[in-house]
């Protein structure tokens, strides 16, 4: 038996395997970015990179896309292990989760106070990335909310667009009843196991589940109470078509089953995809709670870019973000036109795309309107346990609808939340 060739072969195979597996490229002057959604965030970042490269040809971009939960998982692992060379230079973080990262990993993200002119952005986007007087991150897409409604249904019920301007939720319910009486259509739809509507209503009054110090603010929170009561009232008044899951929810308004929906500006593309409904839609400001301090503007969702403090390309990453996201109005026209991305830079409204009148919405300048509301969204501190509170709220919603007093429901929510966040 000839054993030598066999040994050599095995050794060679092992070596070949190892070299095959270990090849990894890395070169300087490259900004690495982690984000999710190839057709949205990645595409927007590519556009931003291309614009920056025109003036700085030595800089290259490496945009890596993972699922949203995966970006968070990788970021968490990289930060927790202290292995800074395994982190990107720029990372996208969802706004609701920003404080969790900023507070759990102090000094992990680069403060940009003084390097970015934050006065140009919607104040609420800046607030959510501010911790102890320092602002981290570059505000990106906004979830500024609006009331999207079917002009034709409301007209049939005897309402003009002006009747929907700056109304309260109580007025919304009255209109809803009239719409159903005249057209047979429900006024709106809601996913009852989703906390989105509570968040919209609460933020419109400048409140959140937590106060500015990050402490739980439930039982004494008038805005939260108002938000829960308004939703219970809507359900009891019978103006809501309940939806089971996201697809059902979207289907309710795109199919013409309901007369309106209140949600983030990012839904615009989905609504406009129903080309047969062109001219039949309108937008109005978000209804407000019937209480002092509540405004006709709010937000749902959105995310922002953060630079890793230990990054070798930190300074270049910051100047890239400041130069493109911080002031390039034309960039914001392009990403709105191509990707439907509404940024948070208020100056973007002066551009051509933001000024266009949209025939789909009856010739209204919808982007100007959203831009108006964007600047008015009350800033709140999202804290670090928004998801836990959402769960506690949705779990107790049925009891409220069944007639349990709101103050008691708030106590239940607080008790349930405390077991989850401690």
Partner 1 sequence: MSRSVFSDRHSARLFGAIRYGLLLLAAFLSVFPFFWMLIGATNITADINTGKVTPGSALFDNIRAFVAQVDVPLVLWNSAKIAILGTAVTILVSSIAGYGFEMFRSKLRDRIYTVILLTLMVPFAAIMIPLFMMMAKAGLIDTHLAIVLPTLASVFIIFYFRQASKAFPAELRDAAKIDGLKEWQIFLFIYVPVMRSTYAAAFVIVFMTSWNNYLWPLIVLQSNGTKTITLVVSSLASAYYPDYGVVMVGTVLATLPTLFVFFAMQRQFVQGMLGSVK
Binding partner 1 (rule: CB under 8 A), the pick from 11, 67, 291, 415 is 67
Structure tokens at 133: 């007087």
Cβ partners under 8 Å of residue 124, min gap 6 = 203, 299, 377, 378, 379, 380
Binding partner 1 (rule: CB under 8 A), the pick from 140, 266, 281, 354 is 266
State in Å, rounded, how far the first CA of the chain is from the last one.
68
Residues 14-53, interacting with partner 1 (CB under 8 A)? 14, 17-18, 20-25, 32, 36-40
Which of 17/293 has CB closer to partner 1?
17
Stretch of residues binding partner 1 (CB under 8 A), selected from 215-223, 263-271, 394-402, 407-415: 263-271
66 touching partner 1, by CB under 8 A: yes
Q: Least Å distance between CB 49 and partner 1?
A: 14
119 touching partner 1, by CB under 8 A: no
Which of 82/158 has CB closer to partner 1?
82
Stretch of residues binding partner 1 (CB under 8 A), selected from 11-19, 49-57, 351-359, 366-374: 11-19
Site string for partner 1, 83-112 (x = CB under 8 A): x-xx-x------------------------
Q: Is the CA virtual torsion 398, 399, 400, 402 positive or negative?
A: positive
137 touching partner 1, by CB under 8 A: no
CA separation (Å) from 143 to 36, 63, 222, 262, 347?
Answer: 17, 23, 23, 12, 17
CA separation (Å) from 292 to 166, 204, 288, 372?
Answer: 14, 11, 10, 21
Q: Least Å distance between CB 397 and partner 1?
A: 25
73 touching partner 1, by CB under 8 A: yes
Query: Which H or E element spans position 126?
Result: helix 123-127
User: Residue 182, exposed/middle/buried by CB under 10 A (0-12, 13-18, 19+)?
Assistant: middle
Which of 214/340 has CB closer to partner 1?
340
Ordered DSSP codes for 263-307 = EEGGGHHHHHT-GGGTTSEEEEPPPB-SSTT--S--EEEEEEEEE
CA distance 389 to 413: 8
Applying CB under 8 A, the residues found at the interface with partner 1 are 1, 3, 14, 17-18, 20-25, 32, 36-40, 62-70, 73-74, 77-78, 80-83, 85-86, 88, 247, 251, 266, 269-270
């Amino acid at each position: 038996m000839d054993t030598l060739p066999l040994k050599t072969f095995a050794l060679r195979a092992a070596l070949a395997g190892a070299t095959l597996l270990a090849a990894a490229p890395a070169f300087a002057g490259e900004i690495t970015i982690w984000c999710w959604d190839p057709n949205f965030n990645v595409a927007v970042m590519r556009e931003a990179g291309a614009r920056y490269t025109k003036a700085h040809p030595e800089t290259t971009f490496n945009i890596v896309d993972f699922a949203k939960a995966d970006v968070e998982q990788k970021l968490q692992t990289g930060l927790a292990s202290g292995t800074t060379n395994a982190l990107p230079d720029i990372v996208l973080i969802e706004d609701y989760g920003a404080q969790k990262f900023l507070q759990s990993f102090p000094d992990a993200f680069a403060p940009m106070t003084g390097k970015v002119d934050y006065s140009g952005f919607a104040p609420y986007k800046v607030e959510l990335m501010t911790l102890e007087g320092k602002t981290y991150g570059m505000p990106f897409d906004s979830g500024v909310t609006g009331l999207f409604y079917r002009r034709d249904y409301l007209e049939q019920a005897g309402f003009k667009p002006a009747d929907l301007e700056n109304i309260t939720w109580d007025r919304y319910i009255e209109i809803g009843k009239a719409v159903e009486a005249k057209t047979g259509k429900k006024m709106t739809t809601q996913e009852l196991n989703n906390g989105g509507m509570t968040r919209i209503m609460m933020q419109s009054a400048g409140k959140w589940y937590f106060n500015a110090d990050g402490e739980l603010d439930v039982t004494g929170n008038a805005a939260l109470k108002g938000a829960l009561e308004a939703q219970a009232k809507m359900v009891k008044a019978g103006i809501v078509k309940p939806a089971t899951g996201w697809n059902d929810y979207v289907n309710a308004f795109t199919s013409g089953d309901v007369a309106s929906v209140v949600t983030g500006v990012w839904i615009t593309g989905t609504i406009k995809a129903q080309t047969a409904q062109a001219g039949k839609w309108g937008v109005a400001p978000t209804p407000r709670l019937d209480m002092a301090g509540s405004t006709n503007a709010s937000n749902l969702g959105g995310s922002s870019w953060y630079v890793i403090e230990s990054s070798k390309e930190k300074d270049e990453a910051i100047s890239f973000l400041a130069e493109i996201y911080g002031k390039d109005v034309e960039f914001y026209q392009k990403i709105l036109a191509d990707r439907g991305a509404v940024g948070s830079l208020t100056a973007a409204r002066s551009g051509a795309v933001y000024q266009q009148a949209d025939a789909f919405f009856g010739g209204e300048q919808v982007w100007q309107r959203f831009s108006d509301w964007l600047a008015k969204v009350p800033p709140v501190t999202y804290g670090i346990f928004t998801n836990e509170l959402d769960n506690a709220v949705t779990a107790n919603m049925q009891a409220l609808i069944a007639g349990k007093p709101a103050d008691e429901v708030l106590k239940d929510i607080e008790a349930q939340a405390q077991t989850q966040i401690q």
